[in-house]
Amino acid sequence: MNPTGMLAFYAAVAAGLVLLLVVIAGQLSPRRPSPVKQKSYECGVSEPQPTEARWPIRFALVAMLFLVFDVEGLFFYPWAVQIRELKFQGLLCMGSFFAVLGVGYIYARGRGALKWQ
């Protein structure tokens, strides 16, 4: 059995078990809906606001920064495994990549993208 096959098997077992739990719970739990009970939870304000309303743009900025830095993190891994074989050449290549990202990081930091106000 190869590791990927075992993993797929485990995924199937896990998914099946989650499904089983959800179905059993759905059968056992009572259902007595009432208009008041089914209202969205609110604290004090009686009329719920629609949630498709505006939300801070900062979250989108974080998502963009995340893409850059997480992809960067991903690039580090193959090099990290081979670091002893690649020696100075690998260090040089990765260093240049590092420098480009460093410039990006310093720019983002200078523009205040990392501050949460």
Partner 1 sequence: MSSLVTFFNETALFGWPLSNIVYLLVLCLVVIVGGMSGMALGTWFERRFIALIQVRKGPNRVGPLGLFQPLADGIKTFFKEDIIPVGVDKPLNKLAPALALFAAMMAMAVLPFGPDVAIPGWGTLTLYISDLNVGVLYLLGVGSLHVYGVVLAGWSSNNKYALLGALRGAAQLVSYEIVLGMSLVGVVMITGEMSLKGIVEWQMNHKIPLVLLQPVAFGLYFIAMFAETNRPPFDLVEADTELTGGFHTEYSGFRYALFMIAEYMAMITVSVVATACFFGGWGGPFGFLPGIWWTFAGILFFFFMFVWVRATIPRLRYDQLMRFSWSYLIPIGLVNLAVTAVAIVVFDAK
- Per CB under 8 A, does 105 bind partner 1? yes
CA–CA gap between residue 83 and residue 90 (Å, rounded): 7
Helices (H) and strands (E) in the chain, counts: 3, 0
- Per CB under 8 A, does 64 bind partner 1? no
DSSP 84-103: HHHHHHHHHHHHHHHHHHHH
- Residue 27 CB, shortest distance to partner 1, in Å, is 9
- In terms of CB distance, is 9 or 107 closer to partner 1? 9
Block residue for tokens 């896990």: 14
Contact footprint for partner 1 (CB under 8 A):
1, 3-7, 9-11, 13-15, 17-19, 21-22, 24-26, 28-33, 37-41, 43, 48-49, 51, 53, 55-56, 58-59, 62-63, 65-66, 69-70, 73-74, 76-77, 80-85, 87-88, 90-91, 94-95, 98, 102, 105, 109, 114-117
